[in-house]
Amino acid sequence: MWREQAKAYAKGDTKGTEFSRYAAALALSGTEDDLKDLRSKGIVTTGAPTHKTTIDVLEMDKKVPHAKLTDCMDSTRWKFIYRKSGKPVEMPKNRLIRYVTDVEAERWGNQWKIVNATPRQHAC
């Protein structure tokens, strides 16, 4: 999901990516909303974040198998730029570069989908 999400941010749209193959519910709609806002400002990204993910809870015995994960996202190499000029978007000086994201996934048939990804203002 993260790889396809980075592709979507680079394009400014999930169309032409496989993001919806890996994301659903709030994870999908939240990314779509974010991309709509960035498009209105003429912003895309270059590079991609890196991730270190751990599985905290895995419940395979539920009707819909469910997992809770913790992801440490490192955005050092992920830059926001203005599409037309290629100039970098000025970011807040106190912005976290590495931060925790709480992730929930569900197994839909043979496919795991990320259904929620909530970034926290907590460094990792």
Q: According to the 3-state scheme, what is the secondary structure of 63-117?
A: CCCEEEEEEEEECCCEEEEECCCCCECCCCCCCCCEEEEEEEEEEECCEEEEEEE
Residue 44 identity (one-letter amino acid): V
Distance CA 32, CA 34 (A): 5
**What is the predicted pLDDT for the residue at 35?**
97
- The amino acid present at 110, given as its one-letter code, is N
Q: What was the pLDDT predicted at 46?
A: 97
Q: Which residues contact 15 (CB under 8 A, 6 or more apart)?
A: none
**pLDDT band of 118, cuts 50, 70, 90:** very high
Distances (CA, A) of 61 to 25, 54, 67, 114, 124: 21, 20, 11, 18, 31
What is the pLDDT, as a whole number, of residue 44?
A: 98
pLDDT reported for residue 53: 97
pLDDT tens-digit readout, 1-38: 999 999 999 999 999 999 999 999 999 999 999 999 99
- Tell me the average pLDDT across 48-69: 97
pLDDT at 85: 97
Q: Taking residues 65-91, report their average pLDDT.
A: 97
